[in-house]
């Protein structure tokens, strides 16, 4: 009986190798040879699934939300979700480094840019929904617009995340700044 191969799983394994390399060396470190070595497979095997480096990078970009979705799956409060977005541990740091590497690539690749737009929209909507629920529960001032505030908060977290990555803000300092902002809109 022939061996059954889950081709999507193989593509995800290759994408995971791309992400590991990107976290360590940026996308400039990603080549078919390097990905094959990282994944423990042959270059020909990688080429079987991806015709080019660009195809491989585009597919890997579609998998970026997986780690993020795991980290933000359970937060029921805005604060918890925002803190989950910060690079406070090794996994969060790697996710942020990979996202930043792909962000640069997205500036010249409309397909990857589209994945970022979609992901940001989903995240913005999730934050806005949590803000709206908190507002309904009387925890936030009525004068804020949840959609606008979601954009502001995500911008704050994005900047703080970069500051933590670069080492000029600690994780605790970033959390304190999130708390400060949230205290200004709390009832």
Asked if 22 and 102 touch (Cβ cutoff 8 Å), the reply is yes
Asked if 111 and 59 touch (Cβ cutoff 8 Å), the reply is no
CATH for 7-62, options being 1.10.150.120, 3.20.20.70, 3.30.70.260, 1.10.10.60: 1.10.10.60
Asked whether the predicted pLDDT for residue 184 surpasses 80, the reply is yes
Cα–Cα distance measured from residue 130 to residue 168, given in angstroms and rounded to the nearest whole number: 29
Enumerate the domain spans of the chain: 7-62, 65-185
> What pLDDT digit, counting tens, does each position of 72-127 carry?
777 679 999 999 999 999 999 999 999 999 999 999 999 999 999 999 998 999 99
pLDDT band of residue 71 (cuts 50, 70, 90) is: low
pLDDT given for residue 75 in this prediction: 65
pLDDT given for residue 7 in this prediction: 86
H helix or E strand, kind and range, residue 166:
helix 146-166
- Please state, for a pLDDT cut of 70, what percent of the chain lies above it: 97
Asked if 91 and 17 touch (Cβ cutoff 8 Å), the reply is no
Mean pLDDT, all residues of the chain: 94
What are the residue ranges of helices labelled H in 41-89?
Answer: 43-49, 53-62, 65-72, 78-84
Quick count: other Cβ atoms within 10 Å of Cβ 6? 9
pLDDT band of residue 37 (cuts 50, 70, 90) is: very high
Residues in the chain: 187
Longest distance between any two alpha carbons in the chain, whole Å: 66
Asked whether the predicted pLDDT for residue 2 surpasses 80, the reply is no
- Please state, for a pLDDT cut of 90, what percent of the chain lies above it: 87
Cα–Cα distance measured from residue 131 to residue 78, given in angstroms and rounded to the nearest whole number: 7
Asked whether the predicted pLDDT for residue 4 surpasses 90, the reply is no
Q: What homologous superfamily does CATH list for 65-185?
A: Tetracycline Repressor, domain 2 (1.10.357.10)
Asked whether the predicted pLDDT for residue 1 surpasses 90, the reply is no
> What pLDDT digit, counting tens, does each position of 140-173 carry?
999 999 999 999 999 999 999 999 999 999 999 9
Q: Provide the token pair at 78.
A: 């805005």
The residue whose two tokens read 């979705």 is 69
Q: Provide the token pair at 69.
A: 């979705």
Cβ burial of 74 (10 Å; 0-12, 13-18, 19+) is exposed
pLDDT given for residue 67 in this prediction: 67
């Amino acid at each position: 009986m022939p061996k059954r191969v889950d081709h999507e799983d193989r593509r995800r394994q290759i994408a995971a190798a791309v992400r590991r390399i990107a976290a360590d060396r940026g996308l400039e470190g990603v080549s078919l040879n390097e990905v094959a070595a990282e994944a423990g497979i042959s270059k020909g095997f990688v080429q079987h699934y991806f015709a080019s480096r660009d195809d491989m990078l585009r597919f890997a970009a579609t998998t970026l939300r997986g780690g993020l979705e795991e980290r933000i799956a359970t937060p029921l409060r805005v604060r918890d979700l925002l803190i989950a977005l910060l690079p406070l541990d090794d996994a969060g740091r790697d996710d942020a480094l990979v996202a930043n590497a792909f962000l640069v690539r997205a500036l010249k690749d409309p397909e990857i840019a589209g994945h970022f737009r979609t992901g940001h929209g989903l995240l913005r909507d999730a934050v806005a929904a949590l803000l709206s629920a908190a507002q309904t529960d009387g925890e936030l001032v009525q004068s804020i617009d949840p959609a606008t505030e979601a954009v502001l908060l995500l911008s704050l977290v994005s900047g703080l995340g970069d500051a933590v990555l670069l080492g000029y803000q600690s994780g605790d300092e970033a959390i304190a700044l999130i708390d400060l902002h949230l205290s200004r809109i709390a009832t």
